[in-house]
Chain A
Amino acid sequence: MSAERIATTDREFEPRLSLRKRLGMLFGLLSAVAIAIGLVTLEVLIADVIHDGWRALSWDFLTSYPSRRPEQAGIRSALVGTFYILILVGLIAFPLGVAAAIYLEEFAPKNRLTATIEINLSNLAAVPSIVYGLLGLGVFVRTFMLGRSLLAGALTLSLLVLPIIIIASREALRAVPPSIREAGLALGASHWQTVRLFVLPAALPGILTGTILALARAIGETAPLITIGALTYVAFTPKSLFDPFTVLPIQIFNWISRPQPAFHERAAAGIIVLLAVLLLFNGLAIFLRARLQRRIRF
Chain B
Amino acid sequence: MTITSPTPARYIVQPAEPAALRIERLNVWYGKHQAIRDVSFTIPARRITAIIGPSGCGKSTLLRAINRMHDLTRDARVEGSIYWGEIDLYAPTTDPVWVRRHIGMIFQKPNPFPKSIFENVAFGLRVNGYRGDIAARVEEALRKAALWDEVKDKLQQNALALSGGQQQRLCIARAIALEPDILLMDEPCSALDPVATMRIEDLMIELAHTYTIVIVTHNMQQASRVSHYTAFLLAGEDRTGELIEYAPTRELFLRPRDRRTEDYITGRIG
Contacts and interface: CB of A to CB of B under 8 A. Distances in A.
Contact of B85 (A1, A9, A14, A15): A1
B178 A2 contact: no
Contacts of A13: 101, 128-131
B164 to A, nearest CB: 30
Contacts, number: 43
Interface residues of A, number: 14
Interface in B125-162: 128-132
Interface residues of B, number: 19
Contacts of A69: none
B68 interface: no
Interface in B108-137: 128-132
Interface in B52-96: 84-86, 95
B129 A2 contact: no
A2 B45 contact: yes
Interface in A1-56: 1-3, 5-6, 9, 12-17, 20-21
B24 interface: no
Nearest to B132: A12
A5 B84 CA distance: 12
Given A15-B101, A17-B95, A17-B97, A5 B129 contact: no
Nearest to A20: B97
Contact of A17 (B84, B98, B181): B98
Contacts of B128: 13-15
A14 to B, nearest CB: 4
A14 B179 contact: no
Contact of A12 (B84, B85, B130): B130
Contact of B45 (A1, A9, A16, A21): A1
Please list the 5 inter-chain residue pairs (A to B) with the smallest Cβ-Cβ separation, ordered nearest first.
A14-B129, A2-B181, A13-B128, A9-B179, A15-B128
Interface of B: 18, 20, 45, 84-86, 95, 97-98, 101-102, 128-132, 178-179, 181
Interface of A: 1-3, 5-6, 9, 12-17, 20-21
